[in-house]
Amino acid sequence: MEKITSLRAIMKEHGIGAYVIPSTDEWRNEYTPIHKKRLQWICGFSGSNGVLIVTESELILFTDGRYTLQAKIELDENYTIVDMYNPSGCDAMDSCKGLVVGYDPMIQTLSEIEYYEKLGKRFGYSMKSVEDNLVDVLMGNTKNISNVKTLPLEITGMSTDDKIKAITEKVPQECDFLVLTSLSSICWLLNIRGNDIPYNPMVLCYMILEIKTKKIHLFVNTSKLLNINNITIYDLNSFKDHVKGLKSSKIAFDKKNSPIWLTQNIQNGIDVEDPAVMLKAMKNPVELEGFRKAHRYDGVALCKFWFWFHKNLEKGFDEVSAAERLTEFRRENASFVEENFSTISGYGSNGAIVHYGPKKGFCKAIPSPGEDPIYLVDSGGHYDCAGTTDITRMFDLGGATDEHKTCYTAVLKGHIALANAVFPEGTAGSHLDALARYYLWQIGLDYSHGTGHGVGHFLSVHEGPQGITKRNNVPLRENMIISIEPGYYKEGHFGMRIENLYAIKKSSKFPGFLEFDLLSMVPIETSLINFSMMTQDEIAWLQSHNRVALEAVKSNLTPQELEFVSNRS
Ligand SMILES: [Mn+2]
C-alpha cells in the first residue's frame, strides 16, 4: 500500500482525484516489457488485461473473466475487482463522482478517452490528460536499451528504400510528415527486429518520415549504428519534443490507432490509415518462402512432441512440463528464436478455457483419473529464417466417447469446408466465417472466438487488417496469411480446436477467384474422427493434408516417430 499512498500524494500535486493505470503500454502491447509493467508494479496484479482506477479512497481493478479469480488471489481486500465485460461493470465508475480523472495520453487512444468521457457524463466526473506518467515518477529510471538488428534482403525480400517509397505513395500529397507509432509497422518498414518485448521480436520506437526528402527520424534507445539510408536516430524520450517542434506542418497519422497525445498536440493533423498495415499484410515471395521453411521446421517439432507425449503417458507429466518439452523440440532447430505466445497446454477441462496458460503447481497432471481424455496444444514459434507459425492440435489419450468424436469431427468438417473454399476476389472474412461453424451449428454447437487472424512475418502472431470473424470486412487478398481455427469448448470437460495457417493464393480453377494454400505441416489426429460423419471429399482432403504434412517432415523424424505419426494420421 506504500506505493498507492505515494501515488495518491502525487495525484494531489497534479490536481487530480483519480488516476487510470492500464496493463498495456504506450504501444498497446499485449505482452508488456518488464519496465512497462506499471499495473503489476503498483499493485501486484499480473494479468495481461486490466485497468486500475486509483481514487483518494478506493482501488478498482477492471479485468476480464480470465483473470478475476487470479486478481482475487493477487490483490488484498482494499481492491474492488470488476469484470470489465459485464454490462453493469462500469457502474463501479460511480466512485469517481465529482472527481477529475487523470490519464497518460501516450498510453490511451482517442476512442478509449471518448468512452471514459461518455461514462463521465453519466457518473459525474471529468477526464484530464497528465503529461508525466505518475507511476513512472515512482518507479524511477525506466529506460531500456534496445538491441536492434537489421534483417538482410534474403529474409525480408524488400529493401527499406522500396518500402519507404511504397508507403509515401499512399500518404496524401499535401502532407509534410508521416508519424508512425505502431511497432510492427516501423520494424517491418525499416527491416529491423529486437527483443524488447516477450514473444514479439520488436523494438520500442517511434518514427517520423519526411515525405519529400524521405528522411527517416527514428526514436529508439540504442547505441548501434543502423545501416539504413537517410536515417537519423534520436533518444526515445525526445519523440514528443520533435513532434511539437514540427509546429504548423501538415502531419499524417493514424488517429484511431495512435496515442491520443498526437491528436491533442498536432495542430495540422491529417488522419490516415497506417499505410504500412496493408503492405505488410500481403507477403512478398521471399517472406512466403520464409514462412514455408519455418512451418517445415515447426512440423518436425510438433511430430516429435506428439510421439513423446504418448510414449511418456505411462510415466506421466503435467501441462507445464509438456509445454516445456515442446519448446525444447522447437529449440533443436538452430533457426528457432522464441515462442510467439505462451503455449496453451490444456488437458481435459482446462482445454475448454480458450486462453488457458498452465502454471507450475496449479496445473493438471497428465493423465489424471476422471479427466476427459483429450489434450489441446496451441503454440507457435518465430524462426529467424524467417517465419512465424501458429498451430493447434488435439491428442487422444484413449477412451474418447461418441460425444468427443462428434464434436471433433464437426470442428474438423468446418475446418475443411473453409480450407477448401474457393471465393471471388473482394470476399472478406465476415463472408466466410460461417463456413467453419456450419457443421457445429447443425448440431446446436458454436464457439465464441473468431475463426482466423492474420500473421506477421517474424513480428506479432496476430496481425491485421484481415481476419475471419463475424465482423471483419477487409477483403482477403492474394499473399495474405491467415489462420483457420474453429473450435468447440464444453466447460468443465474438454476443448477442441484444429488450427492451421494458410497463404491466400489465386484459384487454380477460376480466374478472379482465390483459395487457401496450406502452410502448416502437422498431420491431424484421425483416431478422434467419427468417419460416418465424413464425406468422401472430406476424407480425400484429410488424406492429402496428412500426406503432404508427413512428406515435409519425415526426413527429420526417427523411424519410431515416423511410424507413430503415420499410424495416428
Ligand atoms: Mn491462432
> pLDDT for 428-453, tens place per residue?
999 999 999 999 999 999 998 999 99
Band (91; pLDDT cuts 50, 70, 90): very high
CB 427 within 8 A of CB 504: no
Mean pLDDT value of segment 96-115: 97
Determine what percent of the chain is predicted with pLDDT higher than 70: 100
Whole-angstrom Cα distance, residue 78 to residue 401?
47
Band (256; pLDDT cuts 50, 70, 90): very high
pLDDT at 69 > cutoff 90: no
Say how many Å lie between the CA of residue 26 and the centre of ligand 1.
Answer: 24
Between residues 1 and 155, the one the model is more confident about: 155
Say how many Å lie between the CA of residue 483 and the centre of ligand 1.
Answer: 6
Residue type, 148: V
Torsion angles phi and psi, residue 362, rounded to 5: -120, 0
The SS3 of residue 85 is: coil
CA distance readout (Å), 500 to 364, 389, 453, 517, 549: 26, 9, 11, 10, 11
Grid cell for residue 274: 497506417
Say how many Å lie between the CA of residue 420 and the centre of ligand 1.
Answer: 19
Torsion angles phi and psi, residue 566, rounded to 5: -60, -45
For 296, other C-beta atoms within 10 Å of its C-beta total 21
Whole-angstrom Cα distance, residue 474 to residue 430?
8
pLDDT of residue 399: 94
Say how many Å lie between the CA of residue 357 and the centre of ligand 1.
Answer: 15
Say how many Å lie between the CA of residue 163 and the centre of ligand 1.
Answer: 27
CA distance readout (Å), 247 to 211, 233, 240, 242, 251: 16, 20, 12, 9, 10
pLDDT at 141 > cutoff 80: no
pLDDT tens digits along 125-134: 999 999 999 9
Say how many Å lie between the CA of residue 498 and the centre of ligand 1.
Answer: 10
Looking at 36-174, list the stretches that DSSP marks H as alpha helix, in order from N- to C-terminal side: 38-43, 68-74, 110-123, 134-139, 153-156, 160-168
Those residues whose C-beta lies under 8 Å from the C-beta of residue 241, and which sit 6 or more positions away, are: none
pLDDT tens digits along 476-529: 999 999 999 999 999 999 999 999 999 999 999 999 999 999 999 999 999 999
pLDDT at 181 > cutoff 80: yes
CB 379 within 8 A of CB 337: no
Whole-angstrom Cα distance, residue 131 to residue 21?
14
- Nearest to 482, CA basis, from 497, 463, 496: 463
Say how many Å lie between the CA of residue 443 and the centre of ligand 1.
Answer: 25
Band (294; pLDDT cuts 50, 70, 90): very high
Torsion angles phi and psi, residue 310, rounded to 5: -75, -35
CB 56 within 8 A of CB 102: no
Say how many Å lie between the CA of residue 104 and the centre of ligand 1.
Answer: 31
pLDDT of residue 355: 83
CB 413 within 8 A of CB 439: yes
Say how many Å lie between the CA of residue 500 and the centre of ligand 1.
Answer: 8
pLDDT at 225 > cutoff 90: no
Grid cell for residue 493: 470437460
Helices and strands per DSSP (H, E), number in the chain: 17, 30
Say how many Å lie between the CA of residue 213 and the centre of ligand 1.
Answer: 40
The SS3 of residue 46 is: coil
Mean pLDDT value of segment 364-382: 97
Whole-angstrom Cα distance, residue 197 to residue 181?
15
pLDDT of residue 338: 96
Task: Out of 60-74, 96-110, 323-337, 449-463, pick the least confident.
Answer: 60-74
pTM (predicted TM-score) = 0.94
E strand spans, 239-390: 251-253, 269-271, 317-318, 336-339, 344-347, 365-366, 374-379, 381-383, 387-388
Band (140; pLDDT cuts 50, 70, 90): confident
pLDDT tens digits along 392-424: 999 999 999 999 999 999 999 999 999 999 999
Q: Is the dihedral of CA 436, 438, 439, 440 positive or negative?
A: positive
Say how many Å lie between the CA of residue 468 and the centre of ligand 1.
Answer: 11
pLDDT at 201 > cutoff 90: yes
Say how many Å lie between the CA of residue 144 and the centre of ligand 1.
Answer: 30
pLDDT of residue 438: 98
pLDDT of residue 160: 97
Say how many Å lie between the CA of residue 491 and the centre of ligand 1.
Answer: 20
Looking at 140-228, list the stretches that DSSP marks H as alpha helix, in order from N- to C-terminal side: 153-156, 160-168, 183-190
Residue type, 422: V
Q: What's the mean pLDDT when you consider all of the chain? A: 96
pLDDT at 167 > cutoff 90: yes
Whole-angstrom Cα distance, residue 509 to residue 420?
12
Whole-angstrom Cα distance, residue 9 to residue 341?
38
ω into residue 424 within 30 of 0, thus cis?
no
pLDDT at 142 > cutoff 80: no
Helix axis angle, 559-568 to 536-553, nearest 10°: 170
Whole-angstrom Cα distance, residue 24 to residue 48?
8
Whole-angstrom Cα distance, residue 161 to residue 464?
23
Band (378; pLDDT cuts 50, 70, 90): very high
Residue type, 318: D
